[in-house]
């Protein structure tokens, strides 16, 4: 029985290796031209986007809300590497429509540079990369690479005006949830906007406490998680959407814990060690909840099939 099982697995691995080897040999006559062309295009991209990418990396490093950006490019590269056999088997049909998309991306870059809009400048790189794939590879190759290209958008911080429109409602929502929960534990509360007045001291739900950081990180990880487990598309989308209420609930519980610590423990320690430590704890709790939601989706799907 063991021999019967091992033969197909060995054969499958051998076939994949042969496919890669045959494809590599088929590309050999064109390797030199492709290499020089790729190096030239890469040099032009570096020249055009060096400052844009440098500022993007600085933002990842200095702004905690977008530190997950460091994970996105390696993940996109891994997706391409994992699907390399399928990409090499894809029919290459270059098309001039890709040139139009590249030109549009460069126009967006100019608008971002001269309009002092970092978001446009950064998004233009994704547009240009998409246009290059379409130009030199064709629509079929672009279809195979679309997920890796789209996921790069997760590494780009949203515009400041949109960031403010998201964070302030999150601040108010977190304040409302915490104010509703604290009286259940015997803590009298008076809320004014994003200020929670407690008997011991006032808590201000600032932008850093809005939950946007955990929200973006959890959304990014939910997309990674769904990809690695190879879930159906609807489960991946549902899991990404579920990360939003999970992150909001976790942030409200964090504020609840901070308020209880202020009232019943030590205000100084509550706003120091506990506030920072609880952020990590609640993020881990959010990850556990995300896995639990995915398992619930799996049970629902199983029962639906059985029915």
Give the tokens for residue 227.
């990809």
Residue 191, H or E segment: strand 190-192
Euclidean distance between CA atoms 110 and 119, whole angstroms: 12
Length of the chain: 307
pLDDT of residue 239: 87
User: Which residue, among 46, 47, 24, has the nearest Cα to 34 in the 3D structure?
Assistant: 24
Euclidean distance between CA atoms 122 and 1, whole angstroms: 56
Convert the pLDDT of each residue in 192-203 to its tens digit.
777 777 777 777
Instruction: Quote the distance between the C-alpha of residue 258 and its chain's center.
Output: 28
Domain ranges of the chain: 2-155, 160-302
Output the average pLDDT for the chain.
80
Convert the pLDDT of each residue in 155-174 to its tens digit.
998 887 888 788 888 888 88
Does the pLDDT value for residue 9 go beyond 60?
no
Q: What are phi and psi of 199, to 5 degrees?
A: -60, -35
Q: Report the pLDDT averaged over residues 227-244.
A: 83
Does the pLDDT value for residue 207 go beyond 90?
no
pLDDT above 70 covers what percent of the chain? 81
pLDDT of residue 180: 85
pLDDT of residue 5: 40
pLDDT of residue 192: 77
Query: Which residues, 6+ apart, have CB-to-CB distance to 172 below 8 Å?
Result: 193, 194
Work out the pLDDT band at 1, boundaries 50, 70, 90: very low
Convert the pLDDT of each residue in 258-288 to its tens digit.
878 777 776 666 666 666 666 777 788 888 8
Q: For residue 155, how many other CB atoms are within 10 A of its CB?
A: 22
Give the tokens for residue 218.
């959890």
Does the pLDDT value for residue 51 go beyond 80?
yes
Q: Report the pLDDT averaged over residues 6-32.
A: 50
Does the pLDDT value for residue 15 go beyond 80?
no
pLDDT of residue 267: 66
């Amino acid at each position: 029985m063991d021999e019967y099982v091992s033969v197909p697995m060995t054969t499958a691995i051998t076939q994949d290796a042969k496919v890669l080897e045959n494809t590599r040999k088929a590309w050999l006559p064109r390797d030199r031209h492709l290499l020089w062309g790729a190096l030239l295009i890469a040099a032009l991209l570096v020249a055009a986007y060096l400052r844009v990418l440098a500022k993007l990396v600085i933002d990842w490093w200095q702004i905690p809300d977008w530190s997950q950006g460091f994970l996105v490019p390696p993940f996109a590269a891994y997706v391409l590497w994992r699907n390399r056999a399928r990409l090499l088997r894809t029919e290459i049909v270059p098309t001039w429509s890709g040139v139009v998309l590249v030109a549009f991306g460069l126009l967006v870059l100019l608008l971002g540079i001269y309009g002092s809009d970092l978001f446009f400048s950064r998004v233009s790189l994704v547009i240009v990369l998409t246009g290059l794939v379409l130009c030199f590879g064709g629509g079929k190759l672009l279809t195979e690479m679309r997920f890796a290209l789209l996921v790069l958008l997760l590494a780009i911080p949203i515009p400041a005006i949109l960031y403010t429109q998201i964070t302030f409602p999150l601040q108010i929502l977190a304040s409302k949830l915490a104010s509703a929960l604290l009286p259940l534990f015997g803590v009298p509360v008076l809320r004014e906007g994003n200020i929670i007045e407690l008997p011991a001291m006032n808590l201000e739900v600032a932008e850093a406490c809005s939950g946007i950081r955990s929200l973006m990180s959890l959304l990014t990880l939910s997309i990674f998680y769904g990809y690695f487990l190879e879930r159906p598309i609807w489960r991946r989308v549902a899991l990404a959407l579920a990360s939003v209420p999970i992150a909001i609930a976790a942030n409200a519980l964090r504020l609840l814990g901070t308020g209880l610590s202020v009232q019943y423990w030590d205000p100084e320690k509550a706003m120091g060690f506990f506030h920072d430590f609880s952020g990590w704890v609640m993020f881990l709790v959010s990850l556990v909840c995300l896995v639990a939601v995915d398992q619930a989706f799996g049970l629902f799907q199983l029962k639906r099939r059985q029915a």
